[in-house]
Amino acid sequence: MAIVRLDGRLGILAIEAKVDETFGPTVDEWLSDPKGDRQTRQTRLKRLCGLLDLDPGAVGSIRYQLIHRTASALIEARRYCARDAVMIVQSFCPKRSWFDDYRAFVEAMGLDQATDGRITAPKECDGIDLRLAWVAEVIEGPFKRLGTARTVPALTELGRVQLSKSFFMRDMLYSEVAMIHGLNNAPDDPELAIKAGKRLCEELLEPLQDKWGRIAIRSAYRSCEVNGFCNEMQRKKKAGYTCASNESNYAAHIWDRLDAKGHMGAMACVVVPSFWEKHQERGDWRIMARWIHEHLPYSSLYFFPTYWAFNIGWHEQPERSIKSYAEPAGTFTP
């Protein structure tokens, strides 16, 4: 938030900066969150919508964060007796992720058509001229154009890529988070994702399956869009969301990004049903961990209590670490 001087008068500038992360839940999702008091939230929503001249009953599909951030600009304008307020979304994402959410908000506000790099006409809200804008980071070449699959044929072709004798790219793209929230779980850099995924499948998943029988993929590839949203929900302590930050997942679940040191990697969370069927005593996950440690070129393993599911990662510079949430929890040294 900034206070600026405009031709002898004050103005308020509110900036919402984004890369791949979302604007958070819609109003309906926010109101339905069991961890919040619905009546209190409804009262708050009514107040915010009153500031913006919006109908609280007609904004269910609008992202709550956009309403809250814009209303805060008006509140600050009142505080400083400013006659102008602007809420700007500063996007650093080359895909313009979440622009459609911004457009929907602009339309709900009754303003002119949302345009990248252009400020809207003003809307008078209790004597304050309110404007909205979307500003994208300028991308200067040379650069590699994103190869994200955005059509059914493109995604179909990506899914047909065979990573190893048993696994196809399609096996690696399923995500409950993406499915429930309508997010695109396809790589921006398919070439890198396929290259890393092949190493994971050929060097780790295939020999694992050859030894123990069919393995089930729980979660493998995640796009920055999906992982970023999942991590945001986790930080808000939403149930069912268990993703680390994008940065920590580069060259792990995010196959199409190199890590901070420029190395390639890929990770999948898997379950081995035949192993779980025979080994359910406390600490039995260590049998699998020890076998992998002795036979496979893994980089990292992380075990979980349910079905002894585990993350298994391939990396150009393997760290050879084994950790567990399952008892006995902590670091395991075979």
Q: Which residue has the tokens 């031709």?
A: 7
Q: What 3-state DSSP class applies to 46? A: helix
131 CB-near residues (< 8 Å, 6+ apart): 84, 85, 86, 87, 119, 120, 121, 122, 123
Q: What is the CA radius of gyration of the chain?
A: 24
pLDDT for 5 beyond 90: no
Supply the pLDDT for residue 95: 67
pLDDT for 104 beyond 70: yes
- pLDDT digits over 23-76, tens only? 889 999 999 888 888 899 999 999 999 999 999 999 999 999 999 999 999 999
Supply the pLDDT for residue 300: 97
pLDDT for 141 beyond 90: no
pLDDT for 144 beyond 70: no
- Are residues 183 and 231 in contact, defined by beta-carbon separation less than 8 angstroms? no
pLDDT for 143 beyond 60: no
Average pLDDT (329-333) is 96
**How crowded is the C-beta side of 137, counted as CA atoms within 13 Å?**
14
Burial class (CB in 10 A: 0-12, 13-18, 19+), 39: exposed
Q: Helices 64-79 and 99-108 sit at what angle, rounded to 10 degrees?
A: 60
Which residue from 65, 106, 70 is spatially nearest to 85, judged by alpha carbons?
A: 70
**Sequence letter at residue 93:** C
Q: What predicted TM-score, i.e. pTM, was given to this entire model? A: 0.60
- pLDDT digits over 148-198, tens only? 887 889 999 999 999 999 999 999 999 999 999 888 899 999 999 999 999
Share of the chain above pLDDT 70, in %: 96
Q: Which residue has the tokens 């809307």?
A: 123
- pLDDT digits over 274-321, tens only? 999 999 999 999 999 999 999 999 999 999 999 999 999 999 999 999
pLDDT for 224 beyond 80: yes
- pLDDT digits over 250-263, tens only? 999 999 999 999 99
Burial class (CB in 10 A: 0-12, 13-18, 19+), 330: exposed
